[in-house]
Amino acid sequence: MIDAVGDVQKVLLLGGTSDIGLATVRRLAGERRIDVVLAGRPGSRLETAAAELESAGHRVEVVPFDAEDRATYSPAVAAAFEGGDVDVAIIAFGVLGDAERAWQEPDVAAALATVNYTAPVTIGVEVAGRMRQQGRGALVVLSSVAGERPRRTNFAYGSTKAGLDAFFTGLREALRPEGVSVLVVRPGFVTTKMTAGMKAAPLSVTAEQVADITVAALRSGKETVWAPAPMRAVMSALRHVPAPLFRRLPI
């Protein structure tokens, strides 16, 4: 549970190998030792993430979770909450997918929608239920600026993030009387393993920078943040660009 000075004691990371998620866990911990539950696909990457956190002195539990396997959702959440209250749960999994195949091949479209929308919503409801039972907690969801106005170049991905963002923004209001908060984080281009090989976009940030923004927002009580902050003004402007002009922009 959160201690007398407001420090986090236990964190659940859904997407246990996420660069942004792991950076956020480290920022939340600071110089303290905390309990961390890493939920992700079993394998060397998850084992490496756990080992790195353990080497820093944290107590780490690894639980199997696969966004494409609904049968892993409930057991992962149950295991995370079994040992005591979870202060912060971070939903940090997702895929970019193949932008062109996603609007032409039904199976590819379905897989993208499952991982980026259906899975986060489903497991988010489970986590929210557990936090309602404990009467407190913070749910952090990694959305994307791509959801604010989907572009031709990535509209399938953008549509999943638009739906994700809308759901968790609404869930925030539903949970408000329950003592549970929801923070929606909207990063722009982030230099991580997911974007490796891609040309960095203007205002690109690192996973550590997104983590800093996220933790600062949690501690200040903010409910939605852009990473970096200037992306808010950029996306606000783009939302009002007429469609004929928007489709000609090199973005």
Residues tagged active-site: 157
Which residue type occupies 237?
A
Q: Show Cβ contacts of residue 168 under 8 Å, excluding neighbours closer than 6 positions.
A: 120, 124, 139, 141, 143, 182, 184
The sign one gets for the Cα dihedral 145, 242, 113, 79 is: positive
Greatest Cα pair distance, the chain, in angstroms, is: 55
> What spatial distance separates the first Cα and last Cα of the chain, rounded to whole Å?
44
Radius of gyration of the chain (CA): 18
How far apart (Å, rounded) are the C-alpha atoms in residues 61 and 71? 19
**Do residues 11 and 32 make contact, with C-beta atoms less than 8 angstroms apart?**
no
Which residue type occupies 50?
A
Per DSSP, the three-state class of 140 is strand
Residue identified by tokens 């295991």 is 79
How far apart (Å, rounded) are the C-alpha atoms in residues 192 and 98? 17
